[in-house]
Amino acid sequence: MMTRKFKLVLPVFFVVILFISSQTNAKTDPEPKDKVLITILKYVLTQGHYQPQEIDDAFSEKVFNNFLERLDPSKRYFLQSDIDEFSNYKKLIDDQINNEDLSFFFLVYERLTQRIEESKPYYKQILTKPFDFNKDEIYDVDYEKSNYALNASGIINTWHKQLKFTTLSRLSDKIFTEEDKKKEDDTYQTISFNELEKDAREATLISMNESYERIEELTYSDWFSTYINSISEEFDPHTTYFDPKVKKRFDISMAGKLEGIGARLQKKNDYTRVSELISGGPAWKQGELEVGDFITKVAQGDGEPVNIVGMRLDDAIEYIKGKKGTEVRLTLKKIDGTTKVISIIRDVVELEETFIKSSVVKKDDRTFAVINLPKFYIDFDEKNYRTSSTDMIKEIERLKNENVEGLVIDLRNNGGGSLKTAIEISGLFIEKGPIVQVKYRDKDADVKKDTDPKIQWDKPLVILVNELSASASEIFAAAMQDYGRAVIIGGKQTYGKGTVQSVLDLNRYHNLKEDIGALKMTIQKFYRINGGSTQLEGVHSDIMLPDRYTYMNIGERDLENPLKFDKVPQASYSHWNNYENFDEVIDNSKKRVANNDYFKLIYQNAKWLKKTQDDTLIYLNYEAYKKDLEAHENESLKYKTLRDYKTHLTYTSPLYEKALLDKDKDLADKRIAWHKNLKKDIYVEEALNVLSELKIKPQHHLVKN
């Protein structure tokens, strides 16, 4: 969640000092704007960040390690002697930040450019000769465990293993393709192993040449931004520097005009990993890309796939994004270890897909409804001022007209959005009272309340969450849990993002003529009305349902440098005490889940997925590599029945929507697809089981907390 209202005022003398700072045109000396940026960054972070850190020796050491890891994550450039030389600065970076001294940055930057230039012949020499795929050899892609090379021959050995792995991946794909052709046509003459190996090597060479072309396109500013972010992100993972080019892209994406597949990506070792799917985006609609998947290759339509393993994240994104209507084919290493190729037609995010929608379901001759809320949206620019809270009010009223007895609100994969609408939606289910506490640094928490005494829905309520429910979703779920208003059912805990960011234009703090970019900075924390933060802890479900993300590293707690969990005083609120059998219903569900064979299988699958995620060893012997792939494929077949699960429930659109479906075939097709997925959804099924058991007391009884 972000806000743009935060302001930080710099003293006037500060700007004067910046303006008269010494200027030099020497190649290894900083430009005036670089010194300006360092000083402004230090001031803004220490004065404005929610939890400022001491810029001391310990901080210096963290920046040192972070910067080197960012520049050479797979340890294919720097020698150990370089690291030893750089280490002289390990506890001096803090002093350099305070003194506008960039000598550490320039030393590392110049050495990196030197090592990159030296490495150019390595991959070309290695790829001139066939790889021996009969040799028993393994390669660990967890580079944190590996050491820097001692000399050039050690670097070449590192390159050899990395290029062998990349080529082996290509070779394996080519062999499988040949085998498929032979199965389709037994007269087909397959290409020999040696020829395929040569083709795979040549493809790797082309990819490496392109990679070095992209590296050469990087400017000094790109490398300097990496250094700046090594400083800013030591404060917390959501505090990020945007240089002018990146800021422009950020503004476009915030306006929803960026065309592509609709997924957020992050770097994980050598891989590009899917960290979030944007509701309404092409990947979200296509349905095969999942959070946790690794993208290994990218092809434009029917073109030759480009291997992006080892590629910088920005470069990989350039291949993946593209114009609306164009096709991109992604080769995925799925979270279960299998390989899959999917096709996505690029598009812009369809706003309609982020809006609230509902489905009516009959269960034991009773009527219930599932409301899907993909995000907490608000659009001040829209003529009709459409928000998730106004839409929720309309949806509830329409469902009441159909005599719906209970609601399931589905917040799975809802990454948050507007705090205002989260508070308003929470208020629809209680009379009035506090919803969330918002705290600035060094100030008491501000209690945000629902002041409208009207209750829009006073019948049973179940909220469905998972590990990707974040921010505003956690505020709503936490409030309903603290009031005892709803049963929270889903993952072990939600994402755990309890912070607010503000985008700060850094140009307001200097009077040079150059643009120095912006800083997205954490300025607030959220707290539940019971006093606990949603940071790291998120919301723990009343009923924990195992899912494939149960053991995966995908939450706030798995990021680098997250802010800590803490507490503030509890707000004054009255517990919603209208359920006759709240605890009994939860116990019944836990027993059902424990005895359900499908949930048992999901639990086993989750443990296996974690084991797969932690397995970083790659076989470089072809037969061993092939057997490993087959073993993963065979293991995944054990869980095939999970994909085939179907409930006996039938989902239909609410009455008001049926007239719209008759006029809009596209909308009708989307609803058919959604209802088909709901019918296969064991989590919604159990949420409805819980909902059907909840009983409301004849009269309301409020208990003061």
Residues annotated as part of the active site: 471, 482, 497
CA distance 102 to 701: 65
Whether 690 contacts 463, CB under 8 Å: no
Helix ranges (H only) for 336-464 are: 388-400, 419-427
Place of tokens 């933060």: 533
3-state SS record for 481-496: HHCCCCEEEECCECCC
CB neighbours of residue 447 within 10 Å: 18
The tally of CA atoms less than 13 A away on the side-chain side of residue 691 is 29
Q: What angle do CA 334, 340, 341 make, to 5 degrees?
A: 130
Say what angle helices 655-663 and 665-679 make with each other, to 10 degrees: 130
Q: What span, in angstroms and rounded, lies between the C-alpha atoms of 500 and 91?
A: 31
Regarding beta strands 461-465 and 446-450, do their DSSP bridges make them parallel or antiparallel, or are they unpaired?
A: unpaired
Sign (positive/negative) of CA torsion 267, 271, 274, 275?
Answer: negative
Which backbone phi and psi does 678 adopt, to 5 degrees?
A: -60, -40
Question: Exposed, middle or buried, 63 (CB in 10 Å: 0-12/13-18/19+)?
Answer: buried
Provide the pairing of β-strand 138-140 with 327-333.
unpaired
Supply φ then ψ for residue 226, to 5 degrees.
-60, -40
Distance of CA 37 to the CA centre of its chain: 28
Coil, strand or helix: which one is 693?
Answer: helix
What is the rounded distance in angstroms from the CA atom of residue 532 to the CA atom of residue 535? 9
Q: Could you tell me if 408 and 459 are in contact, meaning their C-beta atoms sit under 8 angstroms apart?
A: no
CB-CB contact of 500 with 1 (8 Å): yes
List the one residue out of 41, 147, 5, 688 whose CA is nearest residue 367: 688
With beta carbons less than 8 A apart as the criterion, state whether 322 and 328 touch.
yes
Helix (H) or strand (E) holding 267: strand 263-268
DSSP 686: H
CB 414 within 8 Å of CB 374: yes
Q: Residue 439 in contact with residue 525, Cβ under 8 Å?
A: yes
